[in-house]
Structure 1
Amino acid sequence: MGKIMAVNISEKKGTQKVNVHSAKVIEDFGLENDAHAGKWHRQVSLLSYEKIEDFKAKGAPVEEGAFGENLIVQGFDLKALPIGTKLCCNDVVLEVTQIGKQCHSGCEIFKIMGDCIMPREGIFTRVLHGGIISEGDEITIMEENEAQAL
C-alpha cells in the first residue's frame, strides 16, 4: 500500500508543476487543468517520494512538481512495476503504460545537478476510471482478478 504525497499540475508544458493538493482525474484524459493531459499514453505521471528525497539529500534544490510529475507516491518502487500494472486510488484506476522517458535536453534540474531522476524513475499511466485524488489518499496495486473485473 502506498500514499499520495502530492498532486501536481501545470498550465503549460515545459514548466514545473505546482501542488494543488487535490485534483479531478478524468477518464482517458488525465488531471483536470494539467497541460500534459490528453488522449495519449502518458496522461498521468508518477514519481516515488523516496527517490525524490534521496535526490534532495544530494543537495538538489527541488520542490514538489519540479520533475514534471503529477503524483508523488510513497511506498512503492514505481519503476519496478511492469507495464500493464493497475493502480487504484479511491475511484481512480490508472494503468502503467511507460517506465521512464527520454529527458528533453537541458532541463533545469540536470543543468544544476548534472542528473535528473525522472527519465529513469518516473512512470506514466493512462486513466481507466476517473475520480478525485488528494494528498494523503491511499494508493494500491490492484490484484489480477480485480483488474480483470474492469
Structure 2
Amino acid sequence: MSPILLTVNAGKSAAVARTDAPSGLTGIDKRPVDGEVAVSAPGPRGVGGSGLAGDSIADLRHHGGDDQAVYTYAREDLDHWAAELGHPLENGVFGENLTTEGIDVNDTRVGERWRVGDELLLEATSPRIPCATFADWIGERRWVKRFAEAARPGAYFRVLRPGTIRAGDRIEVVHRPTHEVSVAFAFRAQLGERSLRPRVLAAGPALHSELYRNATAWAENA
C-alpha cells in the first residue's frame, strides 16, 4: 500500500480539568477537517503555535513552534491502542494533525523528509513525549507509563516548504538518512534507555533543538 494521508486534523483550545498549561486550556481535541488546509512554519517555540491554519496550541511553552509544527500518528498505531483499550479511537484523538496509513511513523528517521500532496515538504525532528494533559484526555490508568512502554510515540515535523494538503493526499519519502535514530529510538533514549543516549547525536542538527542540546550533554557525559 502506498502511504496516504487519511485525515488532516485541527482543533480549538478548550478548558479541561487537568493540563500543563497555566491557562487551563488545551488544543489536544483534534477533529478531521474537510477540504484543503494550509501548512507553514509557525515561528519559534514560545511564539509560534501549530503549523496548520485553523489549529490551536494552548501551551506555547511546551508545544508548537517550528520544531513541532506538525504532529503525525499512524492509523495502524491507533488500531493497536483501540484493541488494547477495548474501544474505537477516531482519527485525531491523540492530538495528531496528520493521521497516516501505510507508513511506519515510529520508524521514521530524524531528518527524514516527506512530501505530502504536491507542495508540502516536512522534516522529522523528534518523538512525542506524553504529558499530564495527554493522560487526562485519554482517561486511562497509568497512561503515561503504558504509552512509554509501547514506544509508539508518533513524530513531530518541521515545515521545510509550505503547502496545502487534504485527506487522501499521497505521502512520499523523498529523503531517508542512513543513521539509526528513528523517532522511536529517540523516544526510548529520552525516557531512560541511557545506553542509547550518546547515539542520538548521530541525527545531527535535524533534531528538535531541545533534543539536540540534550543529546550533546548525554554525549559529553557518556
Q: CA deviation at 1:128?
A: 1.1
Q: CA deviation at 1:113?
A: 8.3
* Residue in 1 that maps onto 2:39: 26
Q: CA deviation at 1:119?
A: 7.2
Checking the alignment, whether the CA contact within 8 Å between 1:23 and 1:134 is kept in structure 2 is yes
Q: Secondary structure at the match of 1:57?
A: helix
Structure showing greater relative contact order (alpha-carbon pairs closer than 8 Å, 6 or more residues apart) = 1
1:23-102 equivalence runs, <5 A? 23-29=36-42, 30-36=51-57, 39-58=65-84, 59-89=86-116, 90-102=118-130
Which protein is richer in helix relative to its size? 2
Are 1:108 and 2:137 matched, yes or no?
yes
Greater Cα offset, 107-116 or 55-64:
107-116
Greater Cα offset, 103-112 or 81-90:
103-112
Checking the alignment, whether the CA contact within 8 Å between 2:7 and 2:32 is kept in structure 1 is yes
The CA RMSD measured in Å over matched residues stands at 2.5
Pick closer, same or farther for the CA change 1:113–1:140 going to 2, 3 Å: farther
Q: Secondary structure at the match of 1:51?
A: helix
In 2, Cα distance between equivalents of 1:28 and 1:49: 25
Matched letter for residue 31 of structure 1: L
The answer for unaligned runs of 5 or more in structure 1 is 145-150
TM-score (norm 1): 0.82
Equivalenced residues, count: 144
Larger Rg: 2
Pick closer, same or farther for the CA change 1:120–1:75 going to 2, 3 Å: same
4+ residue segments displaced more than 2 Å: 21-27, 36-40, 102-108, 110-121
TM-score (norm 2): 0.57
In 2, Cα distance between equivalents of 1:9 and 1:119: 24
* Residue in 2 that maps onto 1:148: none
Q: Secondary structure at the match of 1:107?
A: helix
Matched letter for residue 35 of structure 1: S
Q: CA deviation at 1:110?
A: 4.4
Which protein is richer in strand relative to its size? 1
Checking the alignment, whether the CA contact within 8 Å between 1:79 and 1:100 is kept in structure 2 is no
